[in-house]
Protein backbone atom coordinates (compact mmCIF):
# COMPACT_ATOMS: atom_id res chain seq x y z
CA UNK A 1 0.00 0.00 0.00
CA UNK A 2 1.35 3.43 -0.95
CA UNK A 3 2.43 5.76 1.86
CA UNK A 4 2.26 8.89 -0.33
CA UNK A 5 -0.57 11.14 0.82
CA UNK A 6 -2.93 12.81 -1.60
CA UNK A 7 -1.85 16.40 -2.43
CA UNK A 8 1.49 15.90 -0.72
CA UNK A 9 4.63 17.42 -2.34
CA UNK A 10 5.80 13.92 -3.32
CA UNK A 11 2.59 13.26 -5.24
CA UNK A 12 3.03 16.46 -7.24
CA UNK A 13 6.66 15.63 -8.04
CA UNK A 14 5.59 12.19 -9.31
CA UNK A 15 3.13 13.91 -11.67
CA UNK A 16 5.78 16.22 -13.15
CA UNK A 17 7.06 13.81 -15.89
CA UNK A 18 3.54 13.13 -17.13
CA UNK A 19 2.67 16.83 -16.98
CA UNK A 20 5.76 17.79 -18.98
CA UNK A 21 4.98 15.11 -21.57
CA UNK A 22 1.35 16.25 -21.94
CA UNK A 23 2.48 19.87 -22.17
CA UNK A 24 4.92 19.09 -24.97
CA UNK A 25 2.85 16.72 -27.10
CA UNK A 26 -0.69 18.00 -26.48
CA UNK A 27 -0.93 21.52 -25.08
CA UNK A 28 1.83 23.20 -27.10
CA UNK A 29 0.69 21.76 -30.50
CA UNK A 30 -2.91 22.79 -29.80
CA UNK A 31 -1.84 26.33 -28.87
CA UNK A 32 0.26 26.59 -32.04
CA UNK A 33 -2.64 25.26 -34.12
CA UNK A 34 -5.04 27.84 -32.70
CA UNK A 35 -2.44 30.59 -33.21
CA UNK A 36 -1.90 29.68 -36.87
CA UNK A 37 -5.66 29.63 -37.47
CA UNK A 38 -5.77 33.34 -36.61
CA UNK A 39 -2.88 34.36 -38.86
CA UNK A 40 -3.87 37.00 -41.39
CA UNK A 41 -2.17 38.89 -44.18
CA UNK A 42 -0.73 37.55 -47.39
CA UNK A 43 2.49 36.15 -45.96
CA UNK A 44 2.69 33.00 -43.89
CA UNK A 45 4.94 33.82 -40.95
CA UNK A 46 4.82 34.31 -37.15
CA UNK A 47 4.79 38.06 -37.82
CA UNK A 48 1.40 37.82 -39.51
CA UNK A 49 -1.35 39.86 -37.81
CA UNK A 50 -4.02 37.99 -35.85
CA UNK A 51 -7.49 38.18 -37.36
CA UNK A 52 -10.81 36.33 -37.60
CA UNK A 53 -10.76 36.47 -41.42
CA UNK A 54 -9.88 32.77 -41.78
CA UNK A 55 -12.92 31.75 -39.75
CA UNK A 56 -15.12 34.27 -41.57
CA UNK A 57 -14.13 32.77 -44.92
CA UNK A 58 -14.91 29.27 -43.67
CA UNK A 59 -18.41 30.15 -42.38
CA UNK A 60 -19.14 32.22 -45.49
CA UNK A 61 -18.72 29.13 -47.66
CA UNK A 62 -21.99 27.18 -47.74
CA UNK A 63 -20.21 24.06 -49.00
CA UNK A 64 -18.13 23.91 -45.83
CA UNK A 65 -21.19 24.49 -43.65
CA UNK A 66 -23.03 21.68 -45.42
CA UNK A 67 -19.99 19.44 -44.98
CA UNK A 68 -19.93 20.20 -41.26
CA UNK A 69 -23.61 19.26 -41.00
CA UNK A 70 -22.99 16.06 -42.95
CA UNK A 71 -20.12 15.19 -40.60
CA UNK A 72 -22.27 15.65 -37.50
CA UNK A 73 -25.20 13.70 -38.97
CA UNK A 74 -22.90 10.88 -40.10
CA UNK A 75 -21.29 10.71 -36.66
CA UNK A 76 -24.65 10.59 -34.88
CA UNK A 77 -25.76 7.78 -37.18
CA UNK A 78 -22.60 5.79 -36.46
CA UNK A 79 -23.02 6.33 -32.72
CA UNK A 80 -26.62 5.05 -32.83
CA UNK A 81 -25.81 1.96 -34.91
CA UNK A 82 -22.64 1.00 -33.04
CA UNK A 83 -24.35 1.72 -29.71
CA UNK A 84 -27.15 -0.75 -30.38
CA UNK A 85 -24.92 -3.41 -31.95
CA UNK A 86 -22.24 -2.99 -29.29
CA UNK A 87 -24.73 -3.33 -26.46
CA UNK A 88 -26.24 -6.45 -28.03
CA UNK A 89 -22.78 -8.02 -28.42
CA UNK A 90 -21.82 -7.13 -24.85
CA UNK A 91 -25.12 -8.45 -23.47
CA UNK A 92 -24.71 -11.71 -25.37
CA UNK A 93 -21.13 -12.22 -24.19
CA UNK A 94 -21.83 -11.51 -20.53
CA UNK A 95 -25.40 -12.72 -20.03
CA UNK A 96 -25.84 -15.56 -22.50
CA UNK A 97 -22.40 -17.16 -22.76
CA UNK A 98 -22.00 -19.02 -19.47
CA UNK A 99 -18.67 -20.69 -20.12
CA UNK A 100 -15.74 -18.39 -19.20
CA UNK A 101 -13.56 -20.09 -21.82
CA UNK A 102 -16.08 -19.53 -24.61
CA UNK A 103 -16.68 -15.98 -23.42
CA UNK A 104 -12.95 -15.22 -23.59
CA UNK A 105 -12.61 -16.91 -26.98
CA UNK A 106 -15.49 -14.94 -28.48
CA UNK A 107 -14.27 -11.68 -26.98
CA UNK A 108 -10.80 -12.26 -28.44
CA UNK A 109 -12.37 -13.06 -31.81
CA UNK A 110 -13.95 -9.61 -31.77
CA UNK A 111 -10.84 -7.86 -30.44
CA UNK A 112 -8.06 -9.43 -32.53
CA UNK A 113 -8.94 -7.45 -35.72
CA UNK A 114 -8.20 -4.27 -33.74
CA UNK A 115 -4.55 -5.33 -33.57
CA UNK A 116 -4.16 -4.13 -37.16
CA UNK A 117 -4.23 -0.49 -38.21
CA UNK A 118 -7.46 1.30 -39.13
CA UNK A 119 -6.20 1.95 -42.66
CA UNK A 120 -5.50 -1.73 -43.32
CA UNK A 121 -8.92 -2.72 -42.01
CA UNK A 122 -10.55 -0.06 -44.19
CA UNK A 123 -8.68 -1.26 -47.29
CA UNK A 124 -9.78 -4.82 -46.51
CA UNK A 125 -13.38 -3.74 -47.02
CA UNK A 126 -12.83 -2.76 -50.67
CA UNK A 127 -12.94 -6.37 -51.99
CA UNK A 128 -16.17 -6.90 -50.06
CA UNK A 129 -17.98 -3.74 -51.21
CA UNK A 130 -16.95 -3.55 -54.86
CA UNK A 131 -19.16 -4.34 -57.84
CA UNK A 132 -17.51 -7.75 -58.11
CA UNK A 133 -17.03 -7.98 -54.37
CA UNK A 134 -18.02 -10.68 -51.93
CA UNK A 135 -21.28 -9.01 -50.85
CA UNK A 136 -22.55 -8.56 -54.42
CA UNK A 137 -21.54 -12.09 -55.38
CA UNK A 138 -23.41 -13.45 -52.35
CA UNK A 139 -26.53 -11.41 -53.10
CA UNK A 140 -26.59 -12.57 -56.71
CA UNK A 141 -25.95 -16.20 -55.76
CA UNK A 142 -29.00 -16.29 -53.46
CA UNK A 143 -31.15 -14.44 -56.01
CA UNK A 144 -31.56 -11.26 -53.97
CA UNK A 145 -30.45 -9.17 -56.98
CA UNK A 146 -29.82 -9.83 -60.65
CA UNK A 147 -27.08 -7.26 -61.16
CA UNK A 148 -24.32 -5.94 -58.86
CA UNK A 149 -25.25 -3.13 -56.51
CA UNK A 150 -22.99 -0.12 -56.99
CA UNK A 151 -24.12 1.67 -53.83
CA UNK A 152 -21.76 -0.23 -51.54
CA UNK A 153 -18.43 1.24 -52.64
CA UNK A 154 -17.62 4.95 -53.03
CA UNK A 155 -20.78 5.92 -51.16
CA UNK A 156 -21.94 6.96 -47.71
CA UNK A 157 -23.48 3.51 -47.37
CA UNK A 158 -20.10 1.85 -47.82
CA UNK A 159 -18.41 4.30 -45.45
CA UNK A 160 -21.05 3.60 -42.81
CA UNK A 161 -20.74 -0.17 -43.21
CA UNK A 162 -16.95 -0.06 -42.89
CA UNK A 163 -16.95 2.26 -39.88
CA UNK A 164 -19.62 0.22 -38.11
CA UNK A 165 -17.35 -2.81 -38.32
CA UNK A 166 -14.37 -0.75 -37.17
CA UNK A 167 -15.93 0.92 -34.14
CA UNK A 168 -18.65 -1.39 -32.82
CA UNK A 169 -16.28 -3.07 -30.37
CA UNK A 170 -15.28 0.35 -29.02
CA UNK A 171 -18.89 0.77 -28.00
CA UNK A 172 -19.13 -2.79 -26.67
CA UNK A 173 -15.96 -2.93 -24.56
CA UNK A 174 -16.99 -0.57 -21.72
CA UNK A 175 -20.46 -2.15 -21.64
CA UNK A 176 -18.90 -5.60 -21.17
CA UNK A 177 -17.02 -4.25 -18.16
CA UNK A 178 -20.14 -2.70 -16.62
CA UNK A 179 -22.31 -5.75 -17.23
CA UNK A 180 -19.71 -7.97 -15.58
CA UNK A 181 -19.76 -5.76 -12.48
CA UNK A 182 -23.52 -6.11 -11.89
CA UNK A 183 -24.26 -8.49 -9.03
CA UNK A 184 -26.53 -11.34 -10.24
CA UNK A 185 -28.47 -11.05 -6.97
CA UNK A 186 -29.99 -7.77 -8.15
CA UNK A 187 -31.64 -9.36 -11.16
CA UNK A 188 -32.62 -12.44 -9.17
CA UNK A 189 -34.30 -10.31 -6.52
CA UNK A 190 -36.23 -8.39 -9.17
CA UNK A 191 -37.39 -11.61 -10.83
CA UNK A 192 -38.47 -12.93 -7.43
CA UNK A 193 -40.68 -9.85 -7.09
CA UNK A 194 -42.39 -10.84 -10.37
CA UNK A 195 -40.60 -8.24 -12.51
CA UNK A 196 -40.61 -9.03 -16.23
CA UNK A 197 -37.28 -9.41 -18.07
CA UNK A 198 -37.91 -6.10 -19.83
CA UNK A 199 -38.55 -4.36 -16.50
CA UNK A 200 -35.35 -5.84 -15.05
CA UNK A 201 -33.42 -4.54 -18.04
CA UNK A 202 -35.08 -1.11 -17.95
CA UNK A 203 -34.90 -0.53 -14.19
CA UNK A 204 -31.66 -2.35 -13.24
CA UNK A 205 -29.41 -3.52 -16.07
CA UNK A 206 -29.44 -0.50 -18.37
CA UNK A 207 -29.11 2.21 -15.67
CA UNK A 208 -26.14 0.39 -14.14
CA UNK A 209 -24.45 0.02 -17.53
CA UNK A 210 -25.12 3.61 -18.63
CA UNK A 211 -21.58 4.82 -17.75
CA UNK A 212 -20.16 2.13 -20.03
CA UNK A 213 -22.56 3.12 -22.80
CA UNK A 214 -21.52 6.76 -22.52
CA UNK A 215 -17.80 5.94 -22.54
CA UNK A 216 -18.25 3.71 -25.59
CA UNK A 217 -20.17 6.44 -27.39
CA UNK A 218 -17.47 9.00 -26.56
CA UNK A 219 -14.83 6.68 -28.06
CA UNK A 220 -16.92 6.17 -31.21
CA UNK A 221 -17.65 9.90 -31.46
CA UNK A 222 -14.00 10.94 -31.23
CA UNK A 223 -12.78 8.29 -33.67
CA UNK A 224 -15.46 8.88 -36.31
CA UNK A 225 -15.01 12.65 -36.20
CA UNK A 226 -11.27 12.27 -36.82
CA UNK A 227 -11.38 9.32 -39.24
CA UNK A 228 -10.20 10.46 -42.67
CA UNK A 229 -8.54 7.20 -43.79
CA UNK A 230 -11.73 5.13 -43.99
CA UNK A 231 -13.66 7.92 -45.71
CA UNK A 232 -10.90 8.43 -48.28
CA UNK A 233 -10.51 4.69 -48.92
CA UNK A 234 -14.17 3.69 -49.12
CA UNK A 235 -15.63 7.00 -50.28
CA UNK A 236 -12.96 7.74 -52.87
CA UNK A 237 -13.08 11.28 -54.22
CA UNK A 238 -16.87 11.41 -54.14
CA UNK A 239 -17.43 11.86 -50.41
CA UNK A 240 -15.61 13.62 -47.61
CA UNK A 241 -16.03 14.76 -44.01
CA UNK A 242 -14.39 17.60 -42.10
CA UNK A 243 -11.39 15.46 -41.26
CA UNK A 244 -10.73 14.94 -44.98
CA UNK A 245 -11.02 18.69 -45.52
CA UNK A 246 -8.08 19.19 -43.15
CA UNK A 247 -5.97 16.81 -45.23
CA UNK A 248 -7.08 18.48 -48.47
CA UNK A 249 -6.11 21.94 -47.23
CA UNK A 250 -2.80 20.66 -45.89
CA UNK A 251 -1.86 18.95 -49.15
CA UNK A 252 -2.63 22.16 -51.06
CA UNK A 253 -0.46 24.18 -48.61
CA UNK A 254 -3.45 26.08 -47.22
CA UNK A 255 -2.14 25.80 -43.68
CA UNK A 256 -4.32 28.50 -42.17
CA UNK A 257 -7.50 26.99 -43.61
CA UNK A 258 -6.42 23.54 -42.40
CA UNK A 259 -5.83 24.97 -38.93
CA UNK A 260 -9.30 26.53 -38.88
CA UNK A 261 -11.00 23.23 -39.70
CA UNK A 262 -8.81 21.37 -37.19
CA UNK A 263 -9.71 23.85 -34.45
CA UNK A 264 -13.42 23.55 -35.27
CA UNK A 265 -13.13 19.76 -35.15
CA UNK A 266 -11.49 19.95 -31.73
CA UNK A 267 -14.25 22.27 -30.50
CA UNK A 268 -16.92 19.83 -31.73
CA UNK A 269 -15.15 16.96 -29.99
CA UNK A 270 -14.82 18.94 -26.77
CA UNK A 271 -18.50 19.88 -26.82
CA UNK A 272 -19.46 16.25 -27.43
CA UNK A 273 -17.38 15.03 -24.51
CA UNK A 274 -18.80 17.73 -22.20
CA UNK A 275 -22.35 16.73 -23.15
CA UNK A 276 -21.52 13.07 -22.47
CA UNK A 277 -20.11 13.94 -19.05
CA UNK A 278 -23.34 15.81 -18.32
CA UNK A 279 -25.34 12.65 -18.99
CA UNK A 280 -23.48 10.50 -16.48
CA UNK A 281 -20.51 10.88 -14.15
CA UNK A 282 -18.08 8.51 -15.87
CA UNK A 283 -15.47 9.26 -13.19
CA UNK A 284 -17.37 6.81 -10.96
CA UNK A 285 -16.71 3.99 -13.43
CA UNK A 286 -15.01 1.26 -11.47
CA UNK A 287 -15.07 3.21 -8.19
CA UNK A 288 -17.92 1.11 -6.80
CA UNK A 289 -16.82 -2.19 -8.29
Write the pLDDT tens digit of every residue in 52-76.
888 999 999 999 999 999 999 999 9
- C-alpha span between 160 and 214 (Å, rounded): 21
Report pTM.
0.82
Q: What CA–CA distance (Å, rounded) separates 54 from 138?
A: 49
The mean pLDDT of 29-45, rounded to a whole number, is: 83
Percent of the chain beyond pLDDT 90? 18
CATH assignment, 62-284: 1.10.3720.10
How does pLDDT run across 201-244, given as a tens digit for each residue?
888 889 889 888 999 999 999 999 988 888 888 887 777 888 88
CA distance 54 to 40: 7
Domain boundaries, the chain: 13-51, 62-284
Q: For residue 3, what pLDDT band results from cuts at 50, 70 and 90?
A: low
pLDDT at 47: 72
Compute the mean pLDDT over every residue in the chain, rounded to the nearest whole number: 84
In the predicted model, is pLDDT for residue 1 greater than 50? Answer: no
Q: Is 264 exposed, middle or buried (0-12, 13-18, 19+ CB in 10 A)?
A: buried
E strand spans, 71-199 = none
Q: Which residues contact 119 (CB under 8 A, 6 or more apart)?
A: 229, 230, 233
Q: How many CB atoms lie within 10 A of CB 76?
A: 13
Amino acid sequence: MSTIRVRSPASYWLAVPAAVWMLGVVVVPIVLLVWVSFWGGRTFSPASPLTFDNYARFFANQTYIKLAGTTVLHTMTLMAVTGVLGYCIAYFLVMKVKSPAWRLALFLAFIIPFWTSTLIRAIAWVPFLGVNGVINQLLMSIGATRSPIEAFLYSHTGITMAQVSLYTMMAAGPVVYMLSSIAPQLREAAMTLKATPFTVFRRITFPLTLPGVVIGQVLVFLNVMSDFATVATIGGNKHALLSNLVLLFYESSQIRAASVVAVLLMICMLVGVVIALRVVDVRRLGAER
